[in-house]
Amino acid sequence: MRYFVVAFTLCILGGCGGFFLKDEIMKERSPEFWIKNAQQDLLKKLTTKLNLNKAKRMIFFLGDGMSIPTVTAARIYKGQMDGLDGERDSLSFENFPVLGLSKTYCVDKQVADSACSATAYLSGVKANYETIGVSAHVQKNDCLAAKIEKNQVESIAAWAQSAGLSTGIVTTTTVTNASPAGTFSHTSNREFESDFDIRAANKSLEHCEDIAKQLIFQNPGSNFKVILGGGRANFLPNFTKEGNRLDNLDLIKHWKSSKKSQANYVTDRESLLNIDVENTDYLLGLFNKGDLDYHLDSGCIQPTLEEMTEAAIKILQKNEKGYFLFVEGGLIDRAHHMNLAVKALDETVELSKAVQKAVDLTDEKDTLIVVTADHAHVMSMAGYPDRGNLITGIGTEMSPIDHLPYMTLSYANGPSSGHYTHEGHRDDLRQVNNIGEKNFEFPSLVPMEIESHGGDDVAVFARGPWSNLFSGVIEQSDIPHFMAFAGCVGNGLTLCSLDNDMK
């Protein structure tokens, strides 16, 4: 409802063919407008100094599936929802001083999934499709190879813990999903979130260890100060109302009993917001059986990504030595897989809010913040829609072939190819009455049960100490090494070891 109220209001203000304030476009007709804008941007860049401090705090934001077209469209979506000129609006992290591109391929795939990419951007080693925390010597489902220590790779979270820093993970998916699992897990199959999944795949429980169990019983997972997200079912036995575990283990109870200092477990938004930070050393929050709900579907029971990020920072910052925090906006990916572009853009805006909260709570002098994606998706932004046209609506151009309008946003493949008739002709989208609603499936070309990832490079936005390292086109596996250099963690070259060598 909010979407349509704002859209209708903007339509009245700016004209339904391009609904942004007309006085803005009048300004843009003047060359002086753009010259002044460029000179301001130039001055800003000229006065930006390199930050060569040590990164006491490192925050890694991951927009799962946040392709460059997703960032562009989300920027416009945000502006339009706020009643602004969407094209000239920006997401919080687009204001960061450094921008680069990351190459996302796996060792064995041109187009990555969230598992091999998590291994790259968290452990600094490229791996095979659907494997986590192991080298490319491990193939999918080879549990015995994944258990060999020399095939396992450590994440930057483990490096940070070894340096005395506190660590945490925050996600809108399950905390055992591929992206957050990259901080702590070693597995030959990302789907092995609980022992139930291993049994379902007809694999040996003796040879394969599930991700939830690794989080609770093994380092570095067992040492995380903060764990916030979904996935309660993977931690509870199947004889309980919400659990799916077959080994009768209550991993939540084990987590609580293993902590020698104050540990709190929360399951809803109110409990999280009322946490006594000063008297909380460890925090586990599991807010749903599976993934959290989309922001557009959620009520007041589940916390937002921004709220979880704030709670995590407030607890982790109590460590004077510093911290490493991983935060994932995981439902961008989920929405794209179903061609639900409105939800994908809204989840990107939610990630932007969480990034802004981190900026507000930290000091750029000693806090390195990196925002990137693990892989792209096949959503494109195309045609020649008028300025101010609803980004989630029908474009303002007609196809010269079939003389029908088309969406500004569409997908190369996915489950919504039904926008074509049985005769192979496209539907007249002007006759479709749910366009722009949160559950509208945007058109796709190739019919598939779920939309696929894209192989495009993804953006890397950086702010804080040594953020200049993230410019240019880099391998995705470079990212944790660059962060480790700035934060003086890990066994590679660091700022601190460089300083010592120079002395």
Handedness of CA 77, 78, 81, 82 (dihedral sign): negative
The DSSP result for 84-98, as a single string, is S-GGG---GGGGSSE
Identify whether 400 is preceded by a cis peptide bond (ω within 30 of 0). Answer: no
Choosing from 67, 92, 114, 444, the catalytic residue is: 114
Q: What is the 3-state secondary structure (H, E, C) of 334-385?
A: HHHHCCCHHHHHHHHHHHHHHHHHHHHHCCCCCEEEEEEECCEECEEECCCC
Q: List, edge to edge, every strand of the sheet that includes 98-103.
A: 263-266, 282-286, 226-230, 166-174, 323-329, 57-63, 367-373, 458-463, 98-103, 472-475
Cα gap 372→463, rounded to integer Å: 12
What is the end-to-end Cα distance of the chain in Å, rounded?
63
Dihedral pair phi/psi, residue 197, rounded to 5°: -70, -35
Helices (H) and strands (E) in the chain, counts: 17, 17
Query: What Rg value do the Cα atoms of the chain yield, rounded?
Result: 23
- 258 has catalytic annotation: no
Beta carbons within 8 Å of 134's beta carbon, 6+ residues apart: 119, 127, 145, 146, 151, 152, 153, 186, 187, 188
Whether the CB-CB separation of 163 and 484 falls below 8 Å is answered with: no
Whether the CB-CB separation of 218 and 184 falls below 8 Å is answered with: yes
Dihedral pair phi/psi, residue 393, rounded to 5°: -110, -170
Cα gap 407→412, rounded to integer Å: 13
Dihedral pair phi/psi, residue 429, rounded to 5°: -65, -20
Residue 199: count of CB within 10 angstroms of its CB? 16
Exposure b/e, 434-459, CB count within 10 A at least 16 = b: ebbebebbbbbeeebeebbbbebbbb
Active site residues per annotation = 114
